[in-house]
A and B are shown apart, each in its own frame.
Chain A
Amino acid sequence: MTEIRQRLLRNAIGPMVPLTAVLLALIIGAFMVLAFGGDPIEGYRAMFSGAFGGWDELSETTLRATPLLLVGVGICIAFRSSVINIGGEGQIIAGALLCTTIVLVLPDLPRPVLLPLALLGGAVGGAFWGWMPGMLKAYAAVNEILSTIMLNIVAGYLMQFLLLGPMKDRQSEELGDIAQTERLSENAKLPTLLEGTQFNLGIVVAVLAAIVGFVLLWRTSLGFEMRAVGGNQIAAQYAGMRVKRNIVLALTFSGMMSGLAGAVLVLSSTAHRLSVESGPSGFTQLAGFNGIVAALFGALHPLWTIPASFLFGGLLVGAFALQRAVQVATPLVVALSGLVVVFVVSSESIVTRAREWAERVSQIAKGGSSSGNEPSTPLGATDPGSPRAPDSASEPESTQTPETSSETIVT
């Protein structure tokens, strides 16, 4: 009985955190809407119906959630290994460019061959763009924050160069001169899942990627090593782990997921082509950054990132309905997502304290001592493969594993 009560108490706290954070951010948002002379209730009603109110809205939200989920899974892998990958934008672009090149060069391959090949191209392109900062960090002591930021810029200009030059749609020149490729082969279109809706295979790819990410991190020895290196490099080195290799792998896998997101973005785009006319972020949808929010909202756990991306994608989609309903511009949602991040991260210490308290209460009731091996993730993912997060620096029981609190960046 006490076992169950203990579990209940602990489990109740976990999912409350992101939800409370969203609620709190929405309340602050309501005051902002009010300050700008809008009716917050009307605004939020429009927002929710704009995001989840029907099949069209749900499919739109799913479309938006797909790249967030893929990038988010990559972020889980990187951040769990204590590598700060801010290169999502560049990796998306690199993936998209390689994927598009493959489709442009081999347009006539049958769909069952071309589609996987194009997705693979995306993954390889992104992986390469992640491998570079990985190598630079491991072997040239270049900090990955610096290199991933700079590589985002390089990728953006590379995309612009290619779409204005070698990859440009020659037909467009007399029709208005647009920085985009020609329409891609029909065989490279991600098939629609439900007739008459926008649901496509992309979300399936993303969910599969999330499962792969989970298995990699918590069901393989490689994942264990990567997380261990994330926890404490020196200890990991003493344990015979190859620290440098793991850093490179973490960034490569992370980039691979973002690259896959880039491929899915191209192959499921309405225009079915790659365009840079609105600038690189017009294509990436800023998923390289928003994916970080989704991953965090999902407790840096690939499986939890699935619903998190869906909810966050919904917020982004609903923003337009909100704008139309109460004349408060869409950037409100960007600001609110920032607040959600801040609230989630800062609640960790509060939550650990609450959980500690909950455990103490139940232990007193049980009259026994702690097993000393409780899963203690920051946001309460308590499945069997529960992570011991490197970011849970605020764990009060860190005396057991002091290394979990040191998130070290080598330069």
Chain B
Amino acid sequence: MKLHKFFSFVLIAGALALFAASCGSDDDDDTVATTAAPTTEAPAPPLRIAIVSPSASNDLAFSQSISDGVNALGDERNIDVAITDGTFVVEEAAAQIRAYADEGYDLVIAHGSQYGGSLEEIAPDYPDTTFAWGTAADTFGLDNVYAYTAAADQGGYVLGTMAGALTNSEVIGVVGPIEVGDAKLYVDGFKAGAEAQNSNANVSVVYIGSFSDVALATETAQAHVGQGADVMTGSAQMVVGAVGVAQNEGVLWFGTQADQRSLAPEIVVASQVYKWEVILQQIVDDMDSGASGGKAFVVTLENGGLEIAYNDAYDLPANVRQLAEDTIAGIIDGSISTS
């Protein structure tokens, strides 16, 4: 009796929803029509790009880098961007990737290496949609999937040499999340750079075991300072607390993934910044030429996809700046190996 009632409620709700859905899709058609209308001289409809990313799209780290990249692409051409962020639940992200593909987006970007396994299963169901996922180098042999990644070790190496040159105590602290992927690549590059520049430097690397534990990241930074570190770096979104420690203790900080100078203008020396627009441009050009995937792209110092953003507010000695520029040149011409 009551079950019956309950299900009739669910049915009614479902019916209402179907009605709502039909209204909703009408709205969608309208918006497309209005955006297309003013561009009468440019007949090409906007390229529709969707992004699914694990943390907030303005997190000053991983997720911000991709939304900045796509928006920068918008300077060049007519695009229509939709973002679903904060999908740290992998299955939620998978559902969103499917939904965007269903809605006919031209390019669906799955920005997180944890989404790759899902994408491998989803992409074959949507042969007309182009997917991109990063950070990774594998396209699963599918011809509608692009992979993109960053040679984070390169920027890490450059920042590492600067750290090696700037440290007085010869103790350098690193706050890492868990020992995988992009973070590991960056940290390994940084350590190699610092040790190459300053053979006495003691680079202490701590992976705290979490992408989200701000308290532990902060305390790790404090432990580094306690051991005499006067230069630190770190990767992932929980480092915001560690930057605060660096600021309070007057310790230098090197950022990565996005420009972190706004977090602590006095002590952030430089940040490695991902310019995803460089490879997004390549992906879009490739799509224009009729392809829809099957290639892997890497942002590097050479192709301009990796940039060292110096903080103008920090008075960087000219010789260290020169050292950084030389290191960049050395990595580009292959005379310096980052590992």
* CB contact list, A57-114 vs B, under 8 A: 57-58, 60, 63-64
Residue of A nearest to B125 (CB): A196
A42-61 vs B, CB cutoff 8 Å, 1 = contact: the mask equals: 00011011011110111010
- Are the CB atoms of B89 and A281 closer together than 8 Å? yes
The interface residues of chain A lying within 8 Å CB-to-CB of B95 are: 60, 63, 317, 320
A282 to B212, CA, bound (A): 12
Residues of A near B135 (CB, < 8 A) are 176
Would B91 and A278 count as touching, CB distance under 8 A? no
Q: Which of B126-144 contact A (CB under 8 A)?
A: 135-138
Q: Which residues of B contact A325 (CB under 8 A)?
A: 24
B-side contacts of A49, CB under 8 Å: 17-18, 20-21, 24
- Confirm or deny: B116 has a beta carbon within 8 angstroms of a beta carbon on chain A: yes
Cβ of B42 within 8 Å of any chain A Cβ, yes or no, is: no
For B, the interface residue count at a CB cutoff of 8 angstroms equals 57
In the bound complex, how far is the Cα of B120 from the Cα of A364, in angstroms?
68
Residues of A within 8 A of B1 (CB): 11
A179 at interface by CB-CB < 8 Å:
yes
Q: Are the C-beta atoms of A282 and B88 separated by less than 8 Å?
A: yes
Main secondary structure of the interface of A (DSSP, over half): helix
Q: How far is the CA of A56 from the CA of B125 in the complex (A)?
A: 14
Asked if B122 CB lies within 8 Å of chain A CBs, one says yes
Say whether, besides A176-B149, A178-B180, A271-B121, A282 and B90 are in contact (CB < 8 Å).
yes
- Interface contact A48-B137, CB-CB below 8 Å: no
A122 close to B (CB within 8 Å):
no
Question: B14 near A: Cβ within 8 Å?
Answer: yes
Q: Are A285 and B91 in contact (CB under 8 A)?
A: yes
Is A350 on the interface with B (CB-CB < 8 A)? no
Within residues 267 to 300 of chain A, which ones have a CB less than 8 A from any CB in chain B? Answer: 269-273, 275, 277-279, 281-283, 285-286
Given the interface pairs A271-B118, A278-B112, the reply to whether A175 lies near B211 with Cβ below 8 Å is: no
Given contacts A48-B16, A49-B21, A324-B82, contact A281 B117 (CB under 8 A): no
* A176 engages B138 (CB within 8 Å): yes
User: Residue B209 at the A interface, CB < 8 A?
Assistant: yes
The residue in B89, B135, B210, B211 that gathers the most chain A C-beta atoms within 10 A of its C-beta is B89
Whether the pair B20, A45 counts as a contact (CB closer than 8 A) is: yes
Whether a CB of chain A sits under 8 angstroms from the CB of B9 is: yes
A143-167 residues at the B interface, CB under 8 angstroms: 157, 160, 164
Please give, as numbers and ranges, the residues of chain A lying within 8 Å of B179 by CB-CB distance.
Answer: 164
A185 close to chain B: CB less than 8 A: no
| B3 CB to nearest chain A CB (Å) | 8
- Please, how many angstroms separate the alpha-carbon atoms of A117 and B214 in the complex? 40
Is A271 a contact partner of B120 (Cβ separation < 8 A)? yes
Annotate B9-25 by CB proximity to A: 1 below 8 A, 0 otherwise.
11001101110110110
Of chain B, the residue at the smallest CB distance from A325 is B24
Residues of chain A at interface, number, CB under 8 A: 58
User: Are B113 and A178 within 8 A (Cβ)?
Assistant: yes
CB distance A271 to B117 under 8 Å? yes
Q: How far is the CA of A218 from the CA of B190 in the complex (A)?
A: 62
Say whether, besides A49-B18, A311-B10, A176 and B84 are in contact (CB < 8 Å): no
Q: Give the residue of A11, A14, A178 whose beta carbon is less than 8 angstroms from that of B181.
A: A178
With an 8 A cutoff between CB atoms, is B2 at the interface?
yes
Q: Are A270 and B92 in contact (CB under 8 A)?
A: no
| B173 lies within 8 A of chain A by Cβ | no
Q: Which of A324-339 contact B (CB under 8 A)?
A: 324-325, 329-331
Contact between A177 and B18, CB atoms less than 8 A apart: no
Interface residues as binary, A12-53 with B (CB distance below 8 Å gives 1, 0 otherwise): 001100010000000000000000000000000110110111
Which residues of chain A are within 8 angstroms of B82 by Cβ–Cβ distance?
324
Interface-centre pick from B20, B178, B211 (highest chain A CB count, 10 A):
B20
Q: Digit string of B168-184 for contact with A (CB within 8 Å is 1, else 0)? A: 00000000001111001
Which residues of chain B come closer than 8 Å to A45, judged between CB atoms? 17, 20, 23-24
CB atoms of A279 and B180 under 8 A apart: no
Q: Does A323 contact B (CB under 8 A)?
A: yes
Q: B13 and A278: CB pair below 8 A?
A: no
A46 to chain B, nearest CB (A): 6
B251 at the interface (CB under 8 A from A): no
| Residues of chain A within 8 A of B255, CB atoms compared | none
Complex contacts, B184 vs chain A, CB 8 Å: 177
Q: Which chain B residue lies CB-closest to A60?
A: B95
Chain B residues lying within 8 Å of A11, measured Cβ to Cβ, are: 1-2
Chain A CB within 8 A of B94 CB? yes
Q: Tell whether A396 is near chain B: CB-to-CB under 8 Å.
A: no
Q: Please name the residue on chain A nearest to B16 by beta carbon.
A: A48
Q: Is B29 an interface residue (CB 8 A)?
A: no
Interface assignment of A219: CB less than 8 Å from any CB of chain B: no
Give Cα A283 to B94, complex, Å.
12
- 7 more contacts with CB within 8 A, not counting A19-B9, A265-B91, are A11-B1, A49-B20, A56-B98, A179-B180, A271-B94, A278-B54, A320-B87
Give me the interface of A with B, judged by CB distance under 8 Å. 11, 14-15, 19, 45-46, 48-49, 51-54, 56-58, 60, 63-64, 157, 160, 164, 174-180, 183, 265, 269-273, 275, 277-279, 281-283, 285-286, 307, 310-311, 317, 320, 323-325, 329-331, 380-382
Ranked nearest first, the 7 interchain pairs of A and B with the lowest CB-CB distance are: A271-B117, A277-B114, A49-B21, A53-B21, A176-B136, A45-B20, A48-B17
8 CB-based A-B contacts, threshold 8 Å: A53-B17, A164-B180, A176-B181, A277-B181, A279-B210, A282-B89, A307-B3, A307-B7
